[in-house]
């Protein structure tokens, strides 16, 4: 494009921007309406509840108590416990998911036979409703009738059955394994898409230059992949720290709170014991923490990308 | 070249890890209660039976719940795309302030626990007289799919160079024609990906369907699945596995058909996102 | 234009789908009741549906709609339904759960609604399980569970052990001795103890020795763990870690998990509720000879029990009609049918004499007879019991049964941490 055409185009661009402002609202409105009514409103209400002593009950009076819930939260050992479990869980699952998914994506990117079937099978965990996932893995982990113990015993790797989901030290790792399993599809497919976006010319050029596979990965693939990695790991972290259904079916937060994720804790407080206000303050606390962590993470990743 | 068999082996390892629970599910669905109480689990049932499927279908009217799930998930997914696409387009092309706000909203709404908004959400729906209706459920799924759909689609829209539209408008095409002939084809993979994500989220959702739907005729598949469970961990595994298979297969079939489009689709969105 | 048609399409689509799903509204004439049932076994579901159909045939002006819930999720469903003002008309639940809802004023006090025939047919002990919050009756109890053992009769006769009967049960000491006899090192254990949910079981069994765990004084409820409370805890622990007649690997299991090994002859006995007999019948290999061991005797044969209940919401619009249906569903004959379907014990005195429930087949006579020793579980009346159970008692007892802490440490936790939790509900 010549300089004149570019300027003309730029001019028209700014005119378009000003001219189309009202139309943009029209395009936004249909999406905005349900979001405002059904997402923003309940959320604001939820945040408000965090400042009250709301409890379950018919005609239960609600008083605004300010920051009392947060003070109580701060001194609640169970809260910090679930917070700790949540961080370990989210960090482990995100990291392991990423490494495993990267490996699989690299494999799927190659011209191997049966790619269509491989890709379809990759998506099995995503296709299963979380209720089913939980139940299936409970069966797999069953100490005596479970396929895991019987396979390990057949391979002579264990001599006595291991009670995976009820052992105080093994429960969290066992649950993390399921978390990795169930989250792999999304991460794998996203990374695969990112890999396919790597410009072919660059890869070919580096092959011509005689670079090894590892060097190629470091110099060409990784930099191109980086924005995708940032995006998907950040999103994975958020989804993981918010995990509820899967772990609930697997262990209900047991044994002894070893797998009680923050969301499980919030659910118990709200639905089982009826302390709505307290649970809401927990929700807000988690949001704040996650946003802070994300801010640091994203800033670092984006800075390095420049 | 020497690494080729290793690669196949690694791929096989991954696939076994990812797919074995599905095989185990199928195997369980074909077993009698007697065989399931056996101490040595086997992959292939010794006395396979189709009784579990019959039981699950007859007792819980699985066909009807499957139909409900299909209706709800399809409608929610279609609506999600229909609403998110113009919104994403507007956000990217017209206002960077609103765009940042929207993306910020996406993050916050993904983080805030769904468990805590269930009750206020239920109350709002009650005001709108949408309790115990599939329409209400669709509306909720639509709302909760929108943020992520917006995030995905605005990435794809960014991937369509503005210059393309400019060039077409220089050639004299009206805005609508530009959208239809230039932008839409490029967005197709992204739309497919977003549709798929919205469909699966809605198909699998359990908690809100549980509290919103009262009539047994309206129940979705995940709701019927939990009915095979009793208290204290006891469950009718056979019919449960049969029903679970039914709950898994449609998503899988959809994947198999669309998956090629999926990878090319996610590419632009993820990179630009 | 694209936009306009979009905007028009959305509400139209919603309306179309929405009205398709709407339940028919009720008018002043015919009444529709929603009956939320938690039946999940094949026989039980069939029995419930049949009874509902029978009612609907006889009462064209009061139609009952059968809605199936699930035990795992009924609590959440009800919390939302109550808070949203949209509860079912007849609610099937269990007494520990309705204790909470009663305290929250969501359930209707049925004292004035109950027909006298229904009231006198059910024993006072059963009514005690549903009396809360100042003496009101918040549900009709209809099914109860007693704690028994299922035993491998072949192994018992081989070891020349006396098989107890309803009139001559085992004492705890005799039972411990039997388990020792039935233990063959490396091959077989006397008993399995699935204790991943230990609290209710231990508390119910502790009444054999008068251990109540909870006491009220001056309006405040506190936890105590004295000698009576320690009996059952100690005895189970001894079987696991001193006698080695119970398999420690079972401690983390849920109720039905020991079954495969039990069928294979690895465990001679498994403790369970009476409903467990159905699992045995369904899953046992051909020719498996099993027998039900009646409840053990400590200083008494008393066991704590809860009950399955039918309740009416406080905001329910058709309370009289709901009560009529409940009275029908829970009359003597029908209760027997329901008990059969769920393999539990009916609260109705009339149902207890039903020949289907006194036959020796599947040891129904043993199960039905055990009802007389059931007393209301003390923890039913404790506000905050659920939290105490989840946060304090379950992890502490699991640690104790895994031999990680001592009995004194356990008692200490149950009392001090427990009282802290209970304080939250005494504001």
User: Any idea what DSSP says for residue A44?
Assistant: H
Instruction: Quote the pLDDT of residue A12.
Output: 44
Say yes or no: B228 contacts chain A, CB-CB below 8 A.
no
Q: Is B229 helix (H, G, I), strand (E, B) or coil?
A: strand
Q: Is the whole-model pTM more than 0.80? A: yes
Mean pLDDT calculated for residue range B112-128: 82
Residue B121 with chain A: CB contacts under 8 Å = 38, 42
Count interface pairs A-B at CB distance under 8 A.
Answer: 272
pLDDT of res. C9: 36
Query: With an 8 Å Cβ cutoff, are A120 and B255 in contact?
Result: yes
pLDDT of residue B85: 86
Cis peptide bond prior to A255, omega within 30° of 0: yes
Residues in chain C within 8 Å Cβ distance of A256: 394-395, 398-399
CB spacing of B169 vs A118 below 8 angstroms:
no
Mean pLDDT for all residues in chain C? 88
Report yes or no: A76 at the C interface, CB cutoff 8 Å: no
pLDDT tens-digit series, residues C46-82: 999 999 999 999 999 999 999 988 888 889 889 888 9
Q: Which B-chain residues 4-63 have CB contacts (< 8 A) with chain A?
A: 7-8, 10-11, 14-15, 17-19, 21-22, 24-25, 28, 36-41, 43
Which of B7, B21, B89, B168 is best to mutate for the A interface (most A CBs within 10 A)? B21
What confidence tens digit (pLDDT) does each residue in A237-289 have? 888 888 888 888 888 777 778 889 988 888 888 888 888 889 989 888 888 88
Please tell me which chains touch A, using 3 or more CB pairs under 8 Å as the contact test: B, C
Average pLDDT over residues A27-36: 80
* Closest by Cβ to B252, choosing from A17, A127, A132: A127
Query: Is pLDDT of A19 > 50?
Result: no
Q: Smallest CA–CA separation between A238 and chain B, in Å?
A: 6
Which residue on chain B is closest to C15 by alpha carbon?
Answer: B135
B52 vs B56: CA distance, rounded Å: 6
Check A196 against B267: CB less than 8 A apart.
yes
**3-state class (DSSP) for residue B215:** coil
Q: Is A273 on the interface with C (CB under 8 A)?
A: yes
Does C352 have pLDDT greater than 50? yes
- Mean pLDDT score of chain A, rounded to an integer? 81
pLDDT at position C419, please?
93
Q: Could you say which of C79, C253, C387 has the minimum Cβ distance to residue A271?
A: C79
Query: Exposed, middle or buried, C13 (CB in 10 Å: 0-12/13-18/19+)?
Result: middle
pLDDT value at B187 more than 60: yes
CB contact under 8 A, C18 and B36: no
Q: Which of these ranges, B134-143, C9-18, C291-300, has the smallest mean pLDDT?
A: C9-18
Question: B105 at the A interface (CB within 8 A)?
Answer: yes
| C78 touches A: beta carbon within 8 Å | no
Does pLDDT of A215 surpass 50? yes
Write out pLDDT tens, residues C137-195.
Answer: 999 999 999 999 999 999 999 999 999 999 999 999 999 999 999 999 888 999 999 99
Q: B219: which chain A residues are within 8 Å (Cβ-Cβ)?
A: none
The confidence score (pLDDT) of residue A302 equals 66
Instruction: Please indicate if any CB of chain A lies within 8 Å of the CB of B188.
Output: no
pLDDT for position C350: 92
Chains that touch B (3 or more CB pairs under 8 A): A, C
What pLDDT digit, counting tens, does each position of A150-174 carry? 888 888 887 777 888 888 888 899 9
C411 phi, psi to nearest 5 deg? -60, -40
């Amino acid at each position: 494009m010549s300089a004149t055409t570019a300027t003309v185009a730029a001019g028209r661009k700014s005119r378009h921007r000003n001219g189309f402002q009202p139309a943009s609202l029209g395009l936004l409105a249909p999406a905005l309406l349900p979001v405002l009514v059904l997402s923003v409103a309940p959320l604001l209400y939820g945040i408000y509840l965090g400042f009250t002593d709301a409890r379950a009950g018919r005609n239960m009076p609600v008083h605004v108590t300010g920051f009392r819930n947060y003070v109580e939260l701060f001194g609640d050992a169970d809260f910090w416990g679930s917070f700790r479990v949540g961080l370990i869980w989210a960090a482990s699952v995100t990291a392991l998911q990423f490494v495993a998914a990267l490996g699989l994506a690299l494999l799927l990117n190659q011209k191997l036979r049966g790619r269509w079937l491989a890709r379809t099978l990759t998506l099995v965990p995503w296709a299963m409703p979380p209720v089913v996932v939980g139940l299936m893995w409970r069966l797999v982990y069953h100490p005596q009738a479970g396929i895991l113990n019987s396979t390990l015993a057949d391979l002579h790797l264990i001599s006595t059955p291991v009670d995976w989901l009820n052992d105080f030290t093994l429960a969290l790792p066992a649950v993390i394994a399921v978390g990795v399993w169930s989250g792999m599809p999304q991460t794998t497919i996203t990374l695969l898409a990112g890999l396919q976006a790597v410009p072919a010319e660059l890869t070919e050029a580096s092959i011509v230059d005689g670079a090894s596979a590892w060097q190629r990965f470091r110099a060409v693939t990784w930099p191109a992949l980086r924005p995708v990695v940032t995006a998907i790991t950040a999103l994975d972290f958020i989804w993981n720290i918010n995990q509820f259904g899967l772990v609930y079916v697997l262990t209900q937060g047991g044994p002894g709170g070893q797998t009680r994720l923050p969301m499980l804790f919030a659910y118990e407080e709200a639905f089982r014991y009826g302390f709505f206000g307290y649970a809401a303050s927990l929700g807000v606390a988690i949001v704040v923490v996650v946003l802070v962590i994300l801010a640091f993470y994203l800033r670092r990743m984006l800075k390095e990308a420049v | 070249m020497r690494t080729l068999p290793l690669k196949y082996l690694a791929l096989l390892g991954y696939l076994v890890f990812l797919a074995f629970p599905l095989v185990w599910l199928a195997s369980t669905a074909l077993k009698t209660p007697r065989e399931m109480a056996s101490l040595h689990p086997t992959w292939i049932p010794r006395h396979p039976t189709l009784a579990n499927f019959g039981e699950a279908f007859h007792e819980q009217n699985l066909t009807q719940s499957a139909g409900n799930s299909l209706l709800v998930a399809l409608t929610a997914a279609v609506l999600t795309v229909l609403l998110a696409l113009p919104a994403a387009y507007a956000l990217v092309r017209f206002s960077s302030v609103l765009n940042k706000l929207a993306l910020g909203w996406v993050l916050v709404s993904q983080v805030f626990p769904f468990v805590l908004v269930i009750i206020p959400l239920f109350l709002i729906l009650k005001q709108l007289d949408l309790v115990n209706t599939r329409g209400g459920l669709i509306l909720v799924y639509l709302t909760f799919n929108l943020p992520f759909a917006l995030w995905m689609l605005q990435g794809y829209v960014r991937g369509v160079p503005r210059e393309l539209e400019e060039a077409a408008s220089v050639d004299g095409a009206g805005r609508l024609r530009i959208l239809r002939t230039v932008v839409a084809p490029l967005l197709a993979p992204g739309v497919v990906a977003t549709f798929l994500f919205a469909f699966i989220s809605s198909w699998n959702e359990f908690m809100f369907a549980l509290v919103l739907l009262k009539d047994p005729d309206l129940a979705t598949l995940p709701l019927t699945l939990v009915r095979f469970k009793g208290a204290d961990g006891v469950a009718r595994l056979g019919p449960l596995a049969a029903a679970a298979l039914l709950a898994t297969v449609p998503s899988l079939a959809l994947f198999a058909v669309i998956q090629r489009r999926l990878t090319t689709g996610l590419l632009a969105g993820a990179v630009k996102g | 234009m694209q936009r306009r048609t979009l905007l028009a399409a959305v509400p139209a689509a919603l309306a179309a789908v929405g009205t398709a799903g709407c339940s028919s509204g009720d008018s002043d004439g015919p009444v529709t009741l929603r009956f939320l049932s938690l039946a999940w076994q094949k026989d039980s579901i069939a029995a419930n549906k049949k009874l509902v159909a029978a009612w609907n045939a006889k009462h064209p002006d009061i139609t009952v709609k059968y809605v199936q819930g699930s035990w795992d999720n009924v609590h959440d469903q009800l919390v939302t339904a109550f808070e949203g003002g949209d509860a079912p008309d007849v609610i099937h639940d269990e007494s520990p759960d309705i204790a909470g809802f009663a305290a929250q004023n969501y359930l209707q006090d049925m004292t004035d609604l109950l027909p006298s025939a229904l009231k006198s047919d059910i024993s006072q002990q059963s009514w005690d399980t549903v009396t809360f919050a100042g003496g009101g009756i918040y549900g009709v109890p209809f099914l109860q569970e007693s704690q028994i053992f299922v035993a491998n009769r072949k192994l018992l006769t081989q070891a020349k052990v006396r098989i107890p009967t309803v009139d001559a049960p085992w004492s705890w000491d005799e039972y411990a001795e039997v388990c020792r006899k039935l233990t063959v090192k490396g091959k077989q254990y006397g008993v399995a103890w699935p204790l991943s949910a230990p609290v209710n079981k231990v508390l119910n069994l502790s009444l054999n020795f008068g251990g109540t765990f909870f006491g009220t004084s001056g309006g405040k409820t506190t936890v105590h763990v004295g000698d009576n409370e320690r009996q059952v805890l100690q005895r189970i622990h001894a079987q696991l870690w001193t006698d080695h007649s119970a398999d420690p690997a079972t401690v983390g299991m849920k109720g039905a998990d020991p079954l495969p090994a039990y069928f294979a002859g690895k465990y001679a006995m498994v403790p369970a509720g009476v409903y467990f007999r159905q699992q045995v019948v369904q899953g046992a290999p051909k020719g498996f000879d099993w027998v039900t061991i009646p409840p053990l005797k400590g200083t008494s044969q008393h066991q704590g029990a809860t009950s399955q209940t039918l309740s009416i919401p406080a905001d329910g619009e058709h309370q009289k009609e709901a009560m009529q249906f409940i009275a029908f569903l829970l009359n003597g004959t029908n209760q027997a049918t329901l008990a059969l379907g769920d393999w539990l014990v009916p609260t109705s005195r009339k149902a207890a004499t039903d020949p289907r429930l006194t036959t020796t087949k599947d040891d129904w006579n043993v199960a039905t007879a055990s009802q007389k020793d059931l007393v209301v579980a003390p923890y039913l009346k404790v506000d905050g019991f659920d939290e105490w159970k989840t946060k304090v008692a379950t992890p502490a007892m699991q640690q104790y049964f895994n031999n990680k802490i001592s009995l004194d440490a356990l008692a200490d936790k149950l009392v001090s941490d427990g009282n802290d939790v209970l304080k939250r509900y005494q504001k």
